[in-house]
Amino acid sequence: MSLAFERSDSVGRAVQVVRAGIIARDICRRGARGEVAAVFERSLYWRIGDDFICIGEPAIGNGPTTLIVAARVTELGVRQGLRAIIGNERITIGDLLFDFRNCATWRTPNWPAPLSSATLRTTCVMLAQRAAAESPADSLARAAFGDDDTPLARIARPRIARFASLMRQPPASSSPAKAGDPVITAPSELIGRRLLDAPLSRGMTREGVVHDLIGLGYGLTPSGDDFLIGALTMLDALEQTNMHAALGHAVVAAADRSSPLSASFLRAAADGHVGENVHTMIAAILTGDADAAVAAAARIGHTSGWDALVGAVVTVTRMSEATCGATIPGCRATRSSGLRQDYRC
């Protein structure tokens, strides 16, 4: 990789920004002051109030809040706490000047048309089985789809089941979810009508299931947050506008329960903006490419991609159940060791 460093009289080094995510570009055009919040091997995060901009190498992938530079982050010499100033379409951090006047703007691409509900369900079963076997031991994917009895699994399974029930809208007399219950429960003949006609905001409050998922788990972005980003992105990809808006409203209302960085990602996802690797993962699910979905999930942090995969799989499974219950006679659920249920029509 060639280093895009130039010398000038006013700063030690000028670094060319190659691509700017649409949110990052908007923040930079407004001008602001902030400081470096975190530095990693291939990226760094700059905080401006409640917003964050990621400056990273091409290998991390494009994103709505990302500036891609043709330089190695480890050679920039940036450290946490350094002040940063934006002005005239440039960012100054210490003796570095990041110039984004001539960079390309990156936007989340359009979504591919999804395959049939039966194909989506088959893909989800495959993904759940692979996630249970291939995801890190401390991932939400292992807790949701595996058989391990871990502290995270005991807490997360009933919360994920309650999230899934939002789309099913079970009768008020249904018994509450327990730690040993399956994450995905049986479809009903009325599931399609209940899903599409029920009040979309039911249960989606700070005190409800979204409140319980945000901040859940480990990592710079907690597992529950990544789950919700996967769910929001799948609803957006499936053009479930009302459901996306209802979930997004609840997520934004509860985002302050999480870390400031993760809250900024949640707000972006609620507004329909996600990174390139998340988009690739969701698009692969829609087109039935389990291998590509797994590969994309594995590229996103330590567990973040896998955790987002759980949210996407749970969501698309519910949506495909709705189609199945409404249009395909004889759809029933049978037990499976993978997704905990295998749907056969």
**Highest mean pLDDT pick, 2-6, 26-30, 161-165, 222-226:** 222-226
Q: Which stretch of 159-173, 181-195, 266-280 has the lowest confidence by average pLDDT?
A: 181-195
Output the pLDDT for position 219.
78
CA dist list (Å): 196 to 114, 239, 325, 333: 18, 13, 12, 20
Res. 309 pLDDT band, cuts 50 70 90: very high
pLDDT of residue 269: 96
Tell me: pLDDT of 336 over 60: no
pLDDT for 173: 33
Average pLDDT over residues 43-68: 94
184 vs 11, more confident = 11
Please give the DSSP secondary-structure letter assigned to residue 136. Answer: -
User: Using one digit for the tens of pLDDT, what is the confidence trace for 98-139?
Assistant: 988 889 999 999 999 999 988 999 999 999 999 999 999 999
Tell me what pLDDT residue 180 has. Answer: 42
How far does Cα 214 stand from its chain's mean position? 12
Domain boundaries, the chain: 5-106, 117-344
Report whether pLDDT(11) > 60.
no
- Span 42-51, average pLDDT: 93
**29: number of Cβ within 10 Å:** 12
pTM, 2 dp: 0.80
The region of weakest confidence among 14-23, 99-108, 109-118, 317-326 is 317-326
Residue range 228-256: mean pLDDT, rounded: 93
Residues 6+ apart with CB under 8 A from 181: 157, 158, 161
What is the dihedral sign for C-alpha 144, 150, 152, 158?
A: positive
